[in-house]
Amino acid sequence: MSFLNETHDPALQSWVTSANVPDNGFPIQNLPYGVFREKGGHHDFRVGVAIGDKVLDLAALALLSPWTGPAGEALQACDAQTLNKLMALSPEHWSALRLALSKALREGSDLQGKLEPLLHDRAAIEHNLPAQIGDYTDFYISVHHATAVGKQFRPDNPLLPNYKWVPIGYHGRASTIGVSGQAFPRPVGQTRPAEDGAAPGFGPSQRLDYELELGIFLGQGNQHGQRIDIREAESHVFGFCILNDWSARDLQAWEYQPLGPFLAKNFASTISPWVVTLEALAPFRQPFQRAAEDPQPLPYLTSDENREHGAFDVELEVLLTTEASRSQGAQPASLSRSNFRDAYWSAAQLVTHHSVNGCKLQPGDLLGTGTLSGPSQGEEGSLLEITGNGRNPIKLPWGEERTFLQDNDEVILRARCTKPGYPVISLGECAGTVLPAIPV
């Protein structure tokens, strides 16, 4: 089975010249989707596709009806304020639209004259959420993160018995997901009592953290009671974004037993504005490997296809700015780097497991990977890991220290795919800022 087609040709060039600049992240081989409008404008948000430093207005292009067949049907689905209509179509529609856009944006295209007036500067637009997110599930698929966190509470037995058998997840809160640039007040809640029998504490979280994740946007759903087979799971995946699932570690430590995360997680989650399609990531597929000494996935969670190319080489980075660093004009501090290929479970396995009990998934649903930490020092996906649960403060280049996030700190997550001889494919940027708590 080949995932590559003519849209992946590394030699393709666009008449949008900024798309040909090395390492710009949005070459013609990428073409991610998002929802935008002009900054400060009062127009409705609309669907667009990023190309170089521009965004092509697909809602306006749909009015011109340049294509028929699946590509035309997919383009008409972009005449909307979200991507849900497009997500609800088939992979054949997605692929046809991608090919049509690729041809239209290539050097020498006879559609250049029609498309040029529909371009906007990406620096002059603002974003909304790419889709109406009906449901949000966050998983826990980095064994390195799970082990590092478990060691802090169970040094002799960091992983619980089920971890290597089942993709662990919890149902999150879709209503507080925001797009990059989100600013939210520090959460308030209960914390563990100072001693047994005492009343719990109450107030602003003092151990606020980020979590470096990817988000998986679902396309076509399934009927209630219908399972999605592992061999069909990727046909239900529209694309990927970057996700920061902020966490209040002190609230979490008090409330997570017996039913898991609640107020420690539902106050804010931030995603990047661009959704990079599964097809765009095809050149970065890798074999999905499980250590021979580990339990192998149960039959419903395994397939030849998943083993051969179920992993993706996506590089991830966490950066931090503070009120002090911004006032000094200092560059953001890089805190860590990791890679999605090191995850213990694949995207296909998450979709299959989520539906194995008959759960209904719908277009625009979001699955979070959970914190994506790597096996080595410098690859931690959270401050909880970097600082050893606050015991070892990190020193920032401009002289400050951090154990957990302080008010007005900004966390920036980035993700991209690179390989020799191929243009850099960027997933964009996911930035969020912690504001002071609302007084109680």
Rounded CA gap, 71 and 101, in Å? 9
Least Cα distance to 280 among 11, 26, 79, 46 occurs for: 26
Q: If you count them, how many residues does the chain have?
A: 440
Q: Measured between alpha carbons, how far is residue 353 from residues 281, 297, 347 in Å? A: 23, 11, 10
Q: Are 269 and 245 in contact (CB under 8 A)?
A: yes
Rounded CA gap, 232 and 348, in Å? 8
DSSP at 408: T
**How many Cβ atoms sit within 10 Å of the Cβ of residue 203?**
13
Q: What are phi and psi of 264, to 5 degrees?
A: -70, -10
Q: Coil, strand, or helix at residue 56? A: strand
Q: Are 209 and 382 in contact (CB under 8 A)?
A: yes
354 is catalytic: no
Chain-centroid distance of CA 151 in Å reads 27
List 93, 127, 145, 354, catalytic entry: 145
| Residue 13: burial class (beta carbons within 10 Å; 0-12, 13-18, 19+) | middle
CB neighbours of 5 closer than 8 A, spacing ≥ 6?
95, 99, 279
- How would you list the strands of the sheet with 410-419, edge to edge? 182-185, 422-435, 410-419, 315-321, 333-339
CB neighbours of 257 closer than 8 A, spacing ≥ 6?
none
List the catalytic residues: 145
